[in-house]
Structure 1
Amino acid sequence: LARQAPLRLALPGLGGDAVARLVADVADAPVDTATVAALTERTGGNPFYVRESARLLAGEGALVALSDVPEGVRDVLRRRFARLPESAVAVLRLAAVAGREADVDVLVAAADTDEDGVLDALDAGLIAGLLTEPALGRVRFVHALVRDTMCADLSRLRSTRMHARIAAALERLGTGDVTALAYHHSRAVSTATAARALELCLRAAELADRGNGHDAAVDLRARALECFDRLPADHPGDRAAERVDLLGALLRAQVRAGSIVPARATRQRAVDIATAERRDDLLIAAFTAWTEPSPWQTRPYASVDEPLVAALDRLLELPDLPPLHRCRLLDAYAVELSGESAGENADASGRRDPRAAAREAITIARRIGDPNLLGMTLSTLLQQLPTPLDAPERVVLAQELIDVGDAHEMPAYRWYGRFNLAASAADLGDAEQTLRLVLESREVARAYLMPEATSVVEYTLAMFANLEGRPEEAERRYAEALAPMIARGSPHAAGFGWIATATIRVEQGRAAELAPQVPHILAGYGPFVADLLAVVLAADGRIDEARRMRALAVPIRVDFFFTVLSTYRAMAVVALDEHDVAAALYTDLLPFRDAPPTCAGLSLALRPIAHTLGELADYLGRPDEAAAHFAHAAETARRWGAAPWRRMTRPAPAIDAGT
């Protein structure tokens, strides 16, 4: 071949689009853009690495595919390592522990060989195609998979010692890289070094917070707690109070990262410490540590943590509470009971009204004059006003929240105010203003790397795709928006995803396709979805089962799901000929006649409530009222560009209930 003067071509890795096609082909399913981007970076676009990673993705999911090395790739890389001298592999393992990219001076200072030995090893890695030189005096592994394979073959004991050597080298070289120091010190922590490691983790976490590095901040604050636990027994200070304080900082980082379920677990750890110590000061600190708003409820739908609420209620009865503590406790109480306001959703428990608690918290916040406190309390009251009938008050509160966020450069309130103003504009029938504000809120979420807010906005844009008659695009966008929420442990994402799919299927006349999922959905989400499941069963011709399912239904809560669940109840009772229920529901829905086809906090698109009223009126034998409702529904759909419902001027084809 050499005599034929062959042309040697250096082939680049596959680009993102090619990786997406290959992964989708191997995994036999579309993959969200974030996962494709991560796999492209992780594999360098190497087709073999991509294919093996895609197989791992198909079998184990994104979390494993983005953290583990596929066995086939690992075997290939180990054979490449075996061709290198053992001394070179030892230095390359040190470089792998240092990170994806490493400073050569640090490696020389940390290695257990001389400078020539280090340079020889790095040269060997470069020649073997394992390393590149991104800048003078730095080396970088060509793929994350190479580095991960190097690290995977190290015992924990050896990697810990390597981290300690790298940390010592960084200290000797006088580097100002706090993040690198924290990374290595925290992974080599001992009783002797715990105080230094703790200090570095907290400093690095503050830097991550300032740079909107939310996931990094969570990791650093979690490691700070591990370092705290390694402090010597005679370390001075109030250990319980310090631990609760560290847990509070971790909680706030988790909320900013969109990890709501872990944040609740962190708060519960702080509550448990306070309870074990029998100290109300620590309990107050645990409950008042949550100072970041969340777009959705922070607990599973229609559930209440009764012990938590009881503890908050008891603390609120303490005499001489400082105003700041009372304000934050009221806010925490209102958040825990969001959707449980006195009136329609209240029970006989005798609890104080969470809406009243939220209003009192705002009053105190105004008196204190702290803009962050005011922003938090405004956000909480907005959660207490979820229905279209609450829109006028929400407009005032959301605009004030925007003003507070803009004036004081607080991204969470800038986003939350705009998104709530968008939802209010929708409830007031202004489609153009709604979309404009949604897009504004997306810009804020993206600019400040707000993961949960970004997912919520993308979910809304999926809703718009369905609203405008693009159901396939809507399903794809819903899946892409929900994937990172599920990965972060959202308590709502999976349920919302199923309801979004069901909403699309019902409006397509394909509800029966969901029938095989009914037992699983009922077991997972309980009787509040019984009406929707009854619609599915009736569409599948299983009328007796549909009636039994309807018997499980509970009163519909007057919250952000009210119009959604009422629509499905109306469909079910008309199909199953429940005249009395239909008559009562018709009365309940009349105040919502002007509601838009957007609902559930801009997350779902559904036939206008006026159309549902038309179907109920037609079933109840009120043809004139039905005609007026259908005409109003058609006009509402036209105003919103809602293609699926613009010509629905009569009842949908009835489901044969066998009556």
Structure 2
Amino acid sequence: EPERARLLITIAMERRADAGRRGDQAAREAEAIARRMGDPALLAYALNGRYMQTFHRAGLAAERAGIGEELLDLAARHEGLVTFEVLGHLILIQAGAALADLATADRHAAAADRLAERYGLPLVGVFTTWYAALRLAVTGRRDEARTAYRTAAARLTGIGMPGLEEGILPLALLSVGIASPDADWGPYERWSRPLLADPGPFGGETPPGSSRLPFTDQVLAVCDSSRLTHAGEVPLEPGSSPLPLAGEAHAIPESPGDLLLEVRTCLHAMVAIRAGDLTAMERLYARLLPAADELAGAGSGLLTFGPTAQHLGDLSAALGRYDQAAGHYRHARAIAERAGAPHWAATAGAALHRLGKRS
């Protein structure tokens, strides 16, 4: 059975971004075998496999937190599991950030750094450096965050993680208000490029998570347009102009299931709103809804586009569901306050005010 469990864990690791459920099934079967055998090292390995299978949809930060806590418990009760102890702390950094619980994330970042120093694990510092930049962004210290992100990105060079390094710096800078049209966006190109071509909420120095009232105005203008069809097409009258990005919205694929699923989905939502693509808005709303109580993308431990509830509010408003939008904006304000992010709280409050002026 141990050999079968290890094979199943390998399958779970290799299929972590697959759309199907085979990887998750393999991880859970391996976990069941390890529990039945009472083998702590095998169980820790299996939990790592299950963790890799918790990015197939939005809103799974609490499940990942449970995995991280169990890894720490195993490491505390059994010797020789330092690597998994570090992993547990790193998972809990991500989960704490996603759940807007920076105090918890801070505690685990400090613990991970202590273990890294004690056991000579330099790679750990790469991840805690990224978290430190994310934390600055969450608390609204965007100038410091920009500098910190550039420093964190430099630490990725030569560590053998090209899949993480490619395109991550321009994406992180976009989250704090810096658009880089000439950068190599790597795997994020298709979700980011339409917004760079027509900046909308990213215009000027305004970050997408701060003072987005102009974008809220655009959202409400979109839903007021009588020219929209449910397919997101815009039948034009003579002399009229299409809504921005109308052609781009249809070309954007669904995000793969990885650490930045919510980030790509939020970017896709912004494009869909500006394009007036109601079908896409409905679909993206459903994809983001399970993460309504989280910071979008913060579960990566790398970057965030603010409270997911803010994006849900924008989608709801663009769909003409104003009461629903108001509920999401109130939720976004509460999450922002929990995270110590007054700039996001102000954004949510401004959106509520703008909605109130309609009545």
Q: TM-score range by the shorter chain?
A: 0.7 to 0.9
Please name the residue that 1:337 is paired with: 15
Q: TM-score under structure 2 normalisation?
A: 0.77
Q: Does the CA contact (< 8 Å) of 1:547 and 1:576 recur in 2? A: yes
- Please name the residue that 1:515 is paired with: 181
Q: Could you give the per-residue CA deviations for residues 161-201 of structure 1, whole angstroms, max 9, x where no partner exists?
A: xxxxxxxxxxxxxxxxxxxxxxxxxxxxxxxxxxxxxxxxx
Which residue is 2:235 aligned to? Answer: none
What is the distance in 1 between the residues matched to 2:16 and 2:70?
Answer: 21
Name the SS of the counterpart of 1:485 in structure 2. Answer: coil
Alignment of 1:42-191 (within 5 A): none
Task: State which of 458, 474, 480 in structure 1 corresponds to 2:145.
Answer: 474
The residue that corresponds to 1:397 in the other structure is 67
Contact 1:422 1:437 in 2 (8 A): yes
Structure 2 distance, partners of 1:534, 1:651, is 24
Structure 2: which 5+ residue stretches go unaligned?
204-241, 353-359
Alignment of 1:54-453 (within 5 A): 323-340=1-18, 345-346=19-20, 353-386=22-55, 389-406=59-76, 407-453=78-124
Equivalent-residue separation in structure 2 for 1:423 and 1:600 (angstroms): 5
Deviation of 1:414 (Å): 1.0
Contact 1:529/1:565 (8 A) holds in 2: no
**Residues in 1 aligned to 2:94 and 2:299: alpha-carbon distance in whole angstroms:** 9
Contact 1:482–1:493 (8 Å) recurs in 2: yes
Contact persistence 1:388–1:595 (CA under 8 A): no
User: Given the two structures, how large is their TM-score scaled by the length of structure 1?
Assistant: 0.44
**Inter-CA distance 565–598: structure 2 relative to 1 (3 Å threshold):** closer
The alpha-carbon distance between structure 1 residues 650 and 586, as it changes in their structure 2 partners (threshold 3 A), is farther
Local SS of the residue matching 2:320? coil
Asked whether 1:530 is paired with 2:190, we answer: yes
Among 253, 258, 278, the residue aligned to 1:579: 278
Q: Deviations over 1:227-286 (max 9, x none)?
A: xxxxxxxxxxxxxxxxxxxxxxxxxxxxxxxxxxxxxxxxxxxxxxxxxxxxxxxxxxxx
Q: Give me the whole-angstrom Cα distance separating, in 1, the residues matched to 2:336 and 2:288.
A: 18
What's the secondary structure of 2:301's corresponding residue?
Answer: coil
The AA in structure 2 aligned to 1:569 is H
Q: Distance in 2 between matches of 1:381 and 1:415?
A: 16
Q: Aligned with 1:605: secondary structure?
A: coil
Which whole-Å deviations, capped at 9, do the CAs of 1:198-245 have from their partners, x for residues lacking one? xxxxxxxxxxxxxxxxxxxxxxxxxxxxxxxxxxxxxxxxxxxxxxxx
| Kept after mapping to 1: 8 A contact 2:260/2:297 | no
Measure how far apart 1:357 and its partner are.
0.7
1:497 is aligned to 169
Measured after TM superposition, the shift of residue 475 of structure 1 is 2.3
Counterpart CA distance in 1 for 2:327 and 2:304 is: 22
Return the structure number with greater relative CO, CA threshold 8 A, min gap 6: 2
CA distance in 2, matches of 1:354, 1:563: 20
AA aligned to 1:494 is E
Letter in 1 for 2:93: A
1:539 alignment partner in structure 2:
199
Matches within 5 A, 1:576-615: 576-596=275-295, 599-615=298-314
Change (3 A) 1:622 1:396: closer
CA shift, 1:636, in A, is 0.8
Q: Distance in 2 between matches of 1:379 and 1:397?
A: 8
Are 1:456 and 2:123 counterparts?
Answer: no
Deviation at 1:608, TM superposition (A): 0.6
Q: Provide the alpha-carbon RMSD of the alignment.
A: 2.7
Q: Which residue of 2 aligns with 1:291?
A: none
Specify the SS of the correspondent of 1:328.
Answer: helix
Contact 1:611 1:630 in 2 (8 A): yes
Matched letter for residue 482 of structure 1: A
The total of aligned residue pairs comes to 309
Q: 1:392 to 1:615 in 2, by over 3 A?
A: closer
**Amino acid across the alignment from 2:146:** E
> In the alignment, what sits opposite 1:136?
none
d(CA) in 2 for partners of 1:437, 1:546: 42
Q: Distance in 2 between matches of 1:617 and 1:647?
A: 19
Render the CA deviation track for 1:380-404: whole Å, top value 9, x for unaligned: 2112113563344333322221122
Distance 1:643 1:619, change over 3 A: same
- Match for 1:563 among 257, 262, 278? 262
1:641 correspondence with 2:319: no
In the alignment, the residues of structure 2 paired with residue 488 and residue 417 of structure 1 have an alpha-carbon distance, to the nearest angstrom, of: 21
Distance in 2 separating the partners of 1:480 and 1:428: 25
Larger radius of gyration between Structure 1 and Structure 2:
1
Aligned-partner Cα distance in 2 for 1:589–1:636: 15
Closer, same or farther: CA 558–487 of 1 in aligned 2, 3 Å: closer
User: C-alpha distance in 1, partners of 2:317/2:247?
Assistant: 25
**Secondary structure, aligned partner of 1:487:** coil
CA contact (8 A) 1:388 1:428 kept: no
Residue 626 of structure 1: how far off its partner (Å): 1.6
Equivalent position of 2:214 in the other structure: none
Distance 2:133 2:99 in 1: 21
1:609-628 C-alpha deviation (Å, 9 max, x unpaired): 11111111111112222222
| Partner of residue 631 from structure 1, selected from 327, 330, 353 | 330
Structure 2: distance between partners of 1:611 and 1:555 = 20
Cα distance per residue 1:462-493 (max 9 Å; x no partner): 10011111222222222222323221231211
* Inter-CA distance 598–516: structure 2 relative to 1 (3 Å threshold): closer
CA contact (8 A) 1:388 1:427 kept: no
Counterpart of 1:220 in structure 2 is: none
Listed as ranges, the gaps of 5+ residues in structure 1 are 1-322, 347-351, 653-659
- The alignment-based identity, stated in percent, is 27
Q: Quote the offset at 1:629 in angstroms.
A: 1.3
Q: Work out the CA distance in 2 between the residues paired with 1:644 and 1:532.
A: 23
